[in-house]
A and B are shown apart, each in its own frame.
Chain A
Amino acid sequence: MEHLIVDNLTMEFGGLKAVDSLSFSVKKGEIYGLIGPNGAGKTTVFNCVSRFYNPTSGRIIFEGKEITKLKPHEIIRAGISRTFQNVELFKHMTVLENLLVGQVAFTRENILSAAFMLSSVRKEERRIREEAMEILKILNIEDKAHEYASAQPYGIQKLVEIGRALVSQPRLIMLDEPAAGMNHSETDELAELILKLRDELGITILLVEHDMSLVMNICENICVMNFGKKICEGIPEKVKSDPAVIEAYLGGEEIA
């Protein structure tokens, strides 16, 4: 079943076509990789799906509904959550508070009920704290809960960001270069984690990544972009040996 369909997406900045008539679809429960050299337009695709950019033309369909007209803050309620290329944490908040923000869209509190701390608010607060702690346990960082996000090493910050995306219980999660800045063992742990998210929580995963070994290891299908266009799509084995892909990367050198 098609979970996310990107249909003929074009995004122009001035005269530049950052994304040019791109189409691909992600099946439910799949780990799908979006790769390409620097400036290929991968993050632009992400920003179109998460609605930060308004595409010049084309449609984005999620779970059978068109989401191309939604506002950025409405996307999480549709069931899509994301992380950012250069970690975008709430620096002056604790790790736990960062995760709680991921719950904001699903919390039925308003300023008056919160100001007077009605029992419904207390209950809600307890519930979301428990849920956030559960996620921290899955990520194995529950001991960091009450430390400031900015005080954490980069690898942990990346995990916190994934955690924040998880608490909203998304059905599709978009990870923008999750392995960037990580060492080998950290990348291996990340691969395990991503597989766990899909296998145990049933979340569909759309991955933008530079680390080829990670993509080749865990993705079922891959779309390769270059200059905003799709140059190849398919299983890792097919993509690896595709001459156009090899040409785009490293000018002919073999990849992975």
Chain B
Amino acid sequence: MFADYSMAELTSIFAMQAFAGLILFSVFVLMALGLAIIFGQMGVINMAHGEFMILGAYITYLTSHIFSEYAQNLFDIYFFVAMILAFIVTFALGALVEWGLIRHLYKRPLDTLLATWGLSLILQQIYRSVFGAREVGVTLPDWLMGSVALSESIEIPINGLFVMGLTLIIAVGVALMMYRSRWGCQVRAVVQNRTMAGAVGINTEKVDRMTFALGCGIAGIAGSAFTMIGSTGPTSGQLYIVDTFLVVVFGGASSLLGTIASAFTISQAQSTMEFFLSGSMAKVLTLLVVVGILMLRPQGLFALKIRR
């Protein structure tokens, strides 16, 4: 397997594959962060999470069009505007969905799963009617194009670096909010003991709505970042939803650190194997190993030590 390559080539192959894995890792982390909040903290299964992400991607697409039509000179910074817009819209939709759908189903997690699946079908059809069935892509501003050459054979694309930086900022932001802010404290209190949290004066309904909406908002940002490395179609979200759930479950549902660690493991394993095996076999093997490990260790990699 390795005999045909020289040592230097092998190094650069591994470096490039590892970098491709890092980009995949960033996408996984961005998607999984939202889910880790919604599923890990609230225990709600949101099958429409992928569609929230795609909504963010479509908003970025629309913003890029608006900027190139009306504000050509500001095109370089459209991406930041798009990201904020994507967050606001998905946050609002998330709050609406929580109000209309999720809050009636907190006691029936399996039913939430079905209802949000229904929601995802509806959203997919709406995207298809509004944006068409074909995949769309955005034009990147000039400063995001091109790549940085580290050595003769190792080149790193700038948009990949940007996505990674963005992921880092958002991950740190979420961690700060969860573990350092008053709101995060309330969320964790509600998760641990809803009745007691209510009794000490936390408005649990409001916390639930904010938590769900924030998870959706992060999905929106993830979708916005996603447009930089791939094109968006009405069903793109569905492709990622299983992977993302596995990432969250594998990491240990209630641990943010676990989510990041498992996203790293899964993405690196997949992209390294992809070079040597066919893409589908790499994916099958990765998923099988993850499912196998989950069968041996159902609580995931990083589990809270609590008795149930």
A and B: bona fide binding partners: no
Where the two chains meet, the residues of A that have a C-beta atom closer than 8 Å to any C-beta of B are none
Seen from chain B, the residues whose Cβ lies within 8 Å of a Cβ on chain A are: none
